[in-house]
Amino acid sequence: MFQELIESRLLVQNLATALLFLIAIWKGKGPERACAGTMFAMILVDRGYHAVFGPSPTFEVIDAWHLLLDTGALFAFVLIALKANRFYPLVLAAAQLVAFSAHLVRMLVEPVSSLSYFLLYTTPFWFQLIVLAGGMAHHFHRSSILGRYPDWRDQLMVDQRARLS
């Protein structure tokens, strides 16, 4: 029963991520594509890993593969959040920090239950999907009102300097 629930959860998660990625490619700008691409890459790389090496070991011990994957995603989201002229990448980075921290908690605190560990590092991805969808919707709405505006902060600084000179 639990295994069937996990498999259906993964299918819905994969489809939602792929859909957001396609929408970002179609209508999004740089930050939307970077965020959706990071999430889609996480799914693809994780599926590839599990296809080659099999399912994750028990949740009784730290999952080194997912620690590595979450560390890479945290690095990517922080870089995007620092450069993007959007707010939602900061929220994505914060949620990824929660997933990353779950592995640290598992390493440092022995009596953490397996379910708690599993939920701490998987639930943030669902939150990130919701935030990404909302952030993209806000960007599309804002673009329809304001027109084109800078995607990245360095572009914003160049535009402001050009206006001042």
pLDDT of residue 115: 77
**Amino acid letter for position 62:** I
Please report how the helices 2-27 and 30-53 are oriented relative to each other, as an axis angle in degrees rounded to 10. Answer: 150
The C-alpha atoms of residue 104 and residue 33 are separated, in whole angstroms, by 29
H and E: helices and strands count for the chain: 6, 0
Q: Which residues are 84's β-sheet partners? A: 152
Nearest CA among 104, 99, 102, 96 for reference residue 79: 96
Element at 23 (helix H, strand E): helix 2-27
> By three-state DSSP, how is residue 54 classified?
coil
157's tokens: 């600084």
**Amino acid letter for position 70:** D
Tens of pLDDT along the chain (165 residues) come to 556 666 688 889 999 999 999 999 999 999 999 999 999 999 999 999 988 988 776 666 677 888 899 999 999 999 999 999 999 999 999 999 999 998 888 777 777 677 777 788 789 999 999 999 999 999 999 999 988 888 898 866 665 666 665
